[in-house]
Structure 1
Amino acid sequence: MGVGGIGMSAFARLLRARGHFVSGCDEAETELTAQLQQEGVAVASGHSAEHVTLGAFGPQFGPVDVLVASEAVPKTHPELAAARSAGIEVRPRMALLGELLRAGPSVGVIGTHGKTTTTSMIAVAMQGAGLDPSAFVGGLVPEFGSNARVGEGPFVAEVDESDRAFAELGCETAVFTNAEDDHVGGDQATYWNTVEEQHAGFARFVAGSDRVLLCADWPGLEDLCVGARERLSYGQAQDADYRAHDLRPDAEGTAFTVAFRGEVLGEARVSLPGIHNVLNALAALAVTHLYGGEFARAAAALAAFRGPGRRWQRVGELNGALIVDDYAHNATKVAAAVQAAHQTGRRVRVVFQPHRYLRTQQSWPRLADALMAADEVLLLDIAAASEPPIEGIHATLISERMSAQGHAGVHYLPDRAEVVRRLRETAQDSDIIVTMGAGDVWKLSRELAGEAG
């Protein structure tokens, strides 16, 4: 169910590659569902109980044996009800991921930020080093032309904490990037009640894994890893097992030196700006080293890596201005993206779309503070993501706080056509324009760059 989603579509590709017949359905046909059909995955548009019980994809297939569904799908959904009535197994998506992680050598990437980029980098570095990984990624990886890769080596997976069942899983090597308070405080299936409960979930995943590679630069992670059987760390910290030092940033990325317990492994480069991407790349090099991959080949692959879709994605140009799209949607990610934009040496112009009413209610002051470093901010309305509005919660909370703190370049512009007109009239070759947020703000970057769609 929901086969057009970024995670479910990756499952479909992995399972089909392992010899299973895979079918799926989603509310709407998209470019992703069209790709799945071209790859041999039968996709039906819309939802119907018949998809499960009557072999809706052709009489030669018959009814399904297993229905895979996200925990976000209501238990009263007609397809779930039909499966239960027919005695068909309903398998939660996290249970399926757990099976894949337990099937052999595996790497699970957890944390509040950076999972998609770090997972992509690990898979790309392993591939470059000849380790032939399989991969499950929450974004499209250009090197694979997909959000999944099938190989004979270790299985590398992004493990999303928005599904609370993740806490009961484990893997061979848990890569723990950071822990903050995202997906907390709501009564939805994808939210935790408290940040303490969520962080306890991280700790359970770590304790259920054979070893953890944690970011030494993120405060408090060690406390969540006390149950680990084996602990290794990465970061710029002096006592990190895998350490990045002598950072040499430029407009396109950062070169740095990598050492393991004091012994230099070699020189590396990440072709994405921002300190956070140095750490993501360091994690990838550390994992590849742990699995016996050749450092120089892994580093070369990472130097050529331009990032997964919607993670500092270079979209094009407008009047010489560089246009980048980024998924950043909470304060830490926004601040990191703004810092990365400044590293280019250009004037930083951000088009920001707040994501979800609850998240905005919880964090609008922090979002405003994170955007203060941008030279200009054009603020769209909140992307609801199916949430009902919350009285008094509006995008202007962010713009008003920024203005009160002295920012002269923040403008609330709910009319997207006005955003496009303004930028087309004023963009210069010394600018970088970053469309930012987890909603559909990415469409504006394509429009500005003159792409269709």
Structure 2
Amino acid sequence: MTDSSPRSPEPASRPDPLSRPHYHLMGIGGIGVSAFARLLAARGVQVSGCDEQPSELTEQLVREGIPVATGHDPAHVQGVDVLIASEAVPKDHPELVAARAAGVEVRPRMALLGELLRASPSVGVVGTHGKTTTTSMIAVAMQGAGLDPAAFVGGIVPEFGSNARLGEGPFVAEVDESDRGFAALACETAVFTNAEDDHVGGNQATYWETVEEQHAGFARFVGQARRVLYCADWPGLAELSAGARERLSYGQAEGADYRAADLRPDADGTTFTVLRRGEPLGEARVGLPGTHNVLNALAALAVTDLYGGDFGAAAAALAAFRGPGRRWQRIGELNGALVVDDYAHNATKVAAAVQAARQTGRRVRVVFQPHRYLRTQQSWPRLADALMAADEVLLLDIAAASETPIPGIHATLVSDRMSQGGHTGVRYLPDRGEVVRYLRETAGAGDIIVTMGAGDVWKLSRELAGVGA
């Protein structure tokens, strides 16, 4: 079995710096770009980067030997061979202008991911929800089964201590559908978790104009893979996967190639039986509550099986897995209450997180931060409905994420709909100090407090649990 300790991002023997291409990564402090930096450095490439503000991630990269500049400056491209930038970066950005003037290749992030996917047997995880958790689980299960995967993840995986893993086996990558360039990529095995209407509309440079256009992108991506493993429980995925050369399915649905049966949920997770084409492969457990995590774990076990990994060893690794950062992350306790942080920010993810919280058997208390004005405008009724199953909901103001406020779009749309629907435990509480004071006074051993959203609501979970950010 492969050693589970994180590996150094520095290879044992590095070429002469003068003989190596120099890649400079804009926005290197981002969760995805920092993973690219680590993977490139491991391949012997000279890597540098810049970002607007220093962060824990940029400090980690510096400690790993990757220089990071604070702020953006055209001087950064001097001596650079390739500049990596998101398609969201304006074409007239001074660094991009300077790079083109100097003859430096400007390469989109998705093109770089495409290179990595083509370089070895690869698994690309795509879908609107669950990509980070599923990608993490696949890498952890493969590692447990001795397949030595490399990985690119949109979150920190505790088992690796990083958002990237260096390995000689299959390359497992989270493929982000918010960047339209994903549709042009090809991999050996596409894992297709679901398809909804997130990252659609508005003036975001990389977003899709319509959900139909986005779903056509999904179909193109899985059609270019050698095979697709799609979730049989999600309506429409079989049709979107019709162009794939080989189609396999996973889920609870009768007839799924890999099926989760006899689910036995408890307060901490779910034990279940895995069937392959109707024949038992063995027992498995996921130490995260919620049916969605059973499906994520099932996908990981299916992929590991497809690559010849030992089922028992993979299942044991998943049973010990506690999730990547900000995906049902247990932070600590407050007066005996369990404090959890979760990235859920659209209606389907919110509903899944609330269902997971209910599975614990505790009183469910949610601190929810709506994310983006456009997303809230598009989905506030669904967000309100998804939160109805919580016992108590404290609503923060919308996290703008650089968007311009939209007149009439406010967090109280959610709270008002919930109140009108009969929920008596919802409050709009924008003062974070008041949120902390109230929960400190009222939290008890029978509670679970979940901070939820894609903005900075995670900071409250640390404050409530009394741990460092």
Listed as ranges, the matches of 1:285-324 within 5 Å are 285-324=301-340
Aligned mates of 1:394, 1:187 — CA distance in 2: 19
Structure 1: which amino acid aligns with 2:65? G
Match status 1:334 vs 2:334? no
**What SS does the aligned partner of 2:272 have?**
strand
Listed as ranges, the matches of 1:51-90 within 5 Å are 51-53=76-78, 63-90=79-106
Structure 2: which amino acid aligns with 1:268? A
Alpha-carbon deviations, 1:92-133, whole Å to 9, x = none?
000000000011100000000000000000000000000000
Match status 1:450 vs 2:466? yes
The match for 2:266 is 250
Match status 1:20 vs 2:45? yes
Give 1:376 shift: 0.1
Structure 2: which amino acid aligns with 1:74? P
Q: 1:32 aligns with which of 40, 57, 61?
A: 57
Aligned mates of 2:174, 2:56 — CA distance in 1: 22
The match for 2:415 is 399
Give 1:185 shift: 1.3
Aligned mates of 2:278, 2:408 — CA distance in 1: 54
The match for 2:366 is 350
Listed as ranges, the matches of 1:363-382 within 5 Å are 363-382=379-398
Q: Where does structure 1 lack aligned partners over 5 or more consecutive residues?
A: 54-62
Aligned mates of 2:242, 2:141 — CA distance in 1: 29
Aligned mates of 2:466, 2:158 — CA distance in 1: 21
Alpha-carbon deviations, 1:308-347, whole Å to 9, x = none?
0000000000000000000000000000000000000000
Structure 1: which amino acid aligns with 2:337? A
Structure 2: which amino acid aligns with 1:448? L
Q: Report the number of matched residues.
A: 444
Q: 1:48 aligns with which of 73, 88, 99?
A: 73
Structure 2: which amino acid aligns with 1:405? G
The match for 1:10 is 35
Alpha-carbon deviations, 1:109-166, whole Å to 9, x = none?
0000000000000000000000000000000000000000000000000000000000
Structure 1: which amino acid aligns with 2:226? D
Aligned mates of 1:366, 1:30 — CA distance in 2: 34
Listed as ranges, the matches of 1:20-419 within 5 Å are 20-53=45-78, 63-419=79-435
Q: What percentage of residue pairs aligned between the two structures are identical?
A: 83
Give 1:190 shift: 2.9
**What SS does the aligned partner of 2:46 have?**
coil
Structure 1: which amino acid aligns with 2:108? P
**What SS does the aligned partner of 1:22 have?**
strand
Give 1:424 shift: 0.2
Give 1:188 shift: 1.1
* 4+ long deviations beyond 4 Å: none
Give 1:186 shift: 1.4
**When the two structures are superposed, what TM-score results if normalisation uses the length of structure 1?**
0.98
Alpha-carbon deviations, 1:423-448, whole Å to 9, x = none?
00000000000000000000000000
Match status 1:440 vs 2:465? no
Aligned mates of 1:157, 1:64 — CA distance in 2: 26
**When the two structures are superposed, what TM-score results if normalisation uses the length of structure 2?**
0.94
